[in-house]
Structure formats: C-alpha cells, structure tokens
Copies of this chain bind each other. A is one copy, B any other.
Amino acid sequence: MSTDLPDVSGISVGILGGTGDQGKGLARRFAIAGHTVLIGSRNEERAREAAGSLSGLAGPVRGAGNAAVAAEADVVVVAVPWDGHRATLESLRAELDGKIVVDCVNPLGFDKQGAYALPVEEGSAAQQAAAVLTGSRVVGAFHHVSAVLLLDPEVDEVDLDVLVLGDDREATDTVQALANRIAGVRGVYGGRLRNAHQVEALTANLISINRRYKAHAGFRVTDV
C-alpha cells in the first residue's frame, strides 16, 4: 500500500470526551508515541484528573475544558458519548473551524440481545459532525479500537487496522499517519464519509464477536 503519508510526529492531539475509556485509551497511546495530548471534558477537574493518570509517558498530557482543547490542539478527536455528540459539536463550531476533526463515535443501542446500530438522521456520526462543523475537515476513524486494549499496560501493540473515512485527501492522509503512530495499528483509507455508517455500526458486530469468542477483536484489511 501507499506509504506516502505526512510526518505527523510533531502535532498535538486533543481528545473531546477524553475522560471516557475510548478517549483516554487513545490519549494514552498518542502520549506513548510522543505526542502532546490535551484531554478535554465538560468538567475541567475530571479532565485534569484523567491527564494526571497518564503522566510519565513520552508525550505530555494535560487536561482542560472541551472548548480550550478544541481551540488549542492541532487535530481534535471526538470521543464523546453519542447522546451528547451533536450538542457538543454545535458548541465548539468556532474553536474547530479549519481543523481536522476525527470522529470515532459509534451510535449504538444495547438490549438483552447485545448491541445494535442506531439510526442517524445524517447517516452516521461522522456525517452529523460534518453537517454541524461546516468549517472543519471531518474524518471518521478509530471506531473499532478496543478501549480495554488501549488502556492495558501489558499490551504493547494493538492488532488492528484503523479504517479512515473522509472526503478530504490531505485530512485522511493525516489521520492515517496518526493511526500509524499507535504501535501495531495501521491506518487504511476506508472510503468517503457517506460510507461511514457501516464502519461505525460494525462495532456492534465486534461486540457480538467479542462475546462469542471471549476476545477483543478488531479487523485487518487483507491484500493492502
């Protein structure tokens, strides 16, 4: 596959909703890779606590409110719960203007039979982000990474490909390069934003697979 991706080693990464497991797990891996990481939360105190729990890694981790993180970070990952997704993004339009915004949110419901995909008016969380953040460069990625593995100090390499979706080639290239910064992970272009829904929804299948096989499953793309 093409390896002609930009050097992203110097960029800072902000994580909105960085106190949740997924956001914190990504924060941890980006800090291990040497990035400056900014953990954002509605609650600044919780953001600082989460950042404190990730001290001593190669890159510095700081906590702040979502708006400060959105304004300061070079690339911003959206890892907020689905039910706060739209409102959070609407409140950060100005701060996120012009930036690469990476949506990793999976709109899922849960019942006794497990997880299932929720319908999204815009088609997907990533498309909702693009609809709200008309001035940002929205990319979908990091949907399938297991928070458990990201946070596990025994796991040196995370064994999966990250599908990167978007309509802006420079932005998807940047996010592929960012995914490659996590040991074991490979960023693979996965299609346009209009095909993000199924990648988000596939997380429900991963949950079924994990339950059946007692695994922390991910996907690898073959022949690439």
- List A residues at the B interface (Cβ < 8 Å): 1-2, 113-117, 159-160, 163, 165, 188-192, 194-195, 197-199, 201-202, 204-205, 207-209, 212-213, 215-224
Contacts of A189 in B (CB 8 A): 208-209, 212-213
Contact: A208 with B221, CB < 8 Å?
no
Shortest CB distance A149–B (Å): 9
Shortest CB distance A135–B (Å): 22
Contacts of A217 in B (CB 8 A): 221-224
Shortest CB distance A108–B (Å): 10
Closest B-chain residue to A113, C-beta based?
A: B192
A197 CA to B123 CA, complexed, in Å: 13
Contacts of A198 in B (CB 8 A): 117, 197-199, 201-202, 204-205
What are 22 A-to-B residue pairs whose CB atoms are below 8 Å?
A2-B213, A113-B194, A116-B195, A117-B197, A163-B205, A188-B209, A189-B208, A190-B205, A190-B208, A190-B209, A191-B204, A192-B208, A195-B208, A197-B201, A198-B205, A202-B202, A213-B223, A213-B224, A216-B223, A218-B222, A218-B223, A219-B220
Closest B-chain residue to A223, C-beta based?
A: B215
